[in-house]
Structure 1
Amino acid sequence: MAPMRRPSAAGSATTQSRGRREVAPVVQAQSIGRRFGPLWALRDVTFALEEGETIAVLGEPGSGKTTLLRLICALDRPTVGSVELFGRRARPNLGSIRASIAAAFGTSGLDPLLTVAENISLRILLSGVPAHHRTGVMVERLRAFGLYDAKDVPCRLISPGMRRRLALACSLVATPRLLVLDGLVDAVDASDKATLEEAVRGMVSSSRTTAVVSVSDPADAEWCSRVAVLSHGRLLVLDTPEGLKRMVGPDTLLIRPIDDRLAAARLADRLGIRVEREADGLLKVEVEHGPDALADVLQGFAAHLSAVHIRRPTLADAYQRLVSGGEGVAIAAGDEAKQSS
């Protein structure tokens, strides 16, 4: 197989023109690095995130996901490089910028001694929701995340999945321009995962919020508009899920003919591409778009086939190929390409 292509990891560094209005990226990171003592947690990371995107930050524990998310929501400062939020540097405008961001880092923002309803009420109060709307917002959030029946239960007594739903509910009591979620998708069951994804999708769709979600399982990034793959503190690639899959290779049709004597030649003639015949008679065809090729095959050969299957590259395939070629960058602060604050 040919070497895997890697699109650029950097996003657009320019503003977008929408009508007559210039819109800066929601997040613009330029050559950022973060050092803790002698080790670099992030190195030379550059990207841009636009309004209305949902970005999955995919990587194993220790890859730099949490460090990166803390930088892009102004909870930390890069050792080198710069981060702009909504077209402005974070530090001189910290108060107004943080007012436009909602973040949840696991369930660390919840008070275990407060009830479910009290946790949401506290976040509503801190978010500046007008007093006459607070009860309505609380009830709506409780119902939206399936927490209403547990509203009077102390947070420490609810299940881990419910705590993650509560953390997300607290993050969404207002409508942020940037939503950052770390550690909420991992280690929850399919039902809770679907609830979290639906809530994020709904906010992005209705308010053009930009959402950034950390994930450890490639399958959890399928629904996002783009995927940033981190490994050992390096941003390996930032692309759409389909773009990442195309990096692995084409789709493959696996065809089992009833009579294989002339099947390979006939298929090659119809599709105009090479057909490989396995020792057991299985025919293998690499195509750019499996569903279209399958429809073409069925139209001309359905009566002559006993089985046909499409094998498509997955995000897990792309992720494994990317990280298997990555190099560790936990480099001592005095080593090559020195970066100092």
Structure 2
Amino acid sequence: MATDASTDFELTSAWKQSFRRKLLAWYKQYERDLPWRKSRDPYRVWVSEVMLQQTQVATVRAYFERFMAALPTVHDLASADEQQVLRLWEGLGYYRRARGLHAAAKVVSSELEGKFPETVEELMKLPGIGRYTAGAIVSIAYDKPAPILEANTIRLLSRLVALRDDPTRTAGQKKLWRIAEELLPAKDVSRFNQALMELGSLVCTPREPKCDACPVESLCQARQLGVVGELLPTTKKTNYTELHEAAVVVRRGGDVLVRQCGPDERWSGLWDFPRFGVESEGPLYAVREIETKLAELTGITASLGPLLKTIKHGVTRFRITLDCYEATHKGGRLKSSKASPAVWVKPSELAEYPLSTTGRKIAKLLG
């Protein structure tokens, strides 16, 4: 086991100095040209860091540029309608991030006159900002000493010191935060922290790390001890739950029915076609269950038509098989509330609504 082969590693002054020098020299040569690095405006840093949580850089790039074009300042974000914010965020997932951004922007705009706090402690008082995001803003935007710890740096630092503890548990996390703080240089913290994340992203990858191309290979304890592949995982294994659901495109003339997901639903604030879990086995029983649940959810009755498409997708800890049906409106009184409004719209109008990812896929099937 890695815990037997490795020991707590002491970061000496000479080791830290060598690490910083090698890392920054490598970053000078290999730094990627990313849109959020063109300015150290704390607003841009904040938005990019929130977008990058659990999302690949390649995916975030286009979203960030579109978001900044539409909402270039924290005041613009604060005054935007939530539906606009969610539409700009559509497809990135984890939509509570977008709602957290919106809520924090309102505080910064109205109570702080548009100026972001410059300390980790003050930033963490804002909605949706945790220790990592606060540290990123303080170090990258303000070039002040603040440690950061996210997926790439957790993996990198764990290998650097051949961490014996489980990096997903409290004891391991405390050690990694301490190491991240010890490594901080006296100056140029902004570039140093970005370089740490860059090295983890490009070289010290989860599988088959490019150790031969690593500028700090000679300083890496896991490499020296030959235990890179034996260290404990830096992310928790997800146990998935299989779900079977149905989504129904109800047609009434040239219109289709969509509803906004309520506060306690999976995609709160987003719009979707009527959707619910299905338990029946066999097509005949499924038809009856779907028509009954459609009436319970929306208040209308409809005749279920053909299967449009089956979409398999994942959401957090769920693996979902979604059967998408067409249906023809028959009658009933539409249920619509302030918390979860429902409306009839033309398919061409769906482009203006922030839809769930699968909702957008269904909308594209409608032409």
Q: Which has the higher helix share?
A: 2
Where relative contact order (Cα < 8 A, 6+ residues apart) is larger, the structure is 1
TM-score (norm 2): 0.24
- Which structure's residues are more often strand, by fraction? 1
- Give the TM-score normalised by structure 1: 0.25
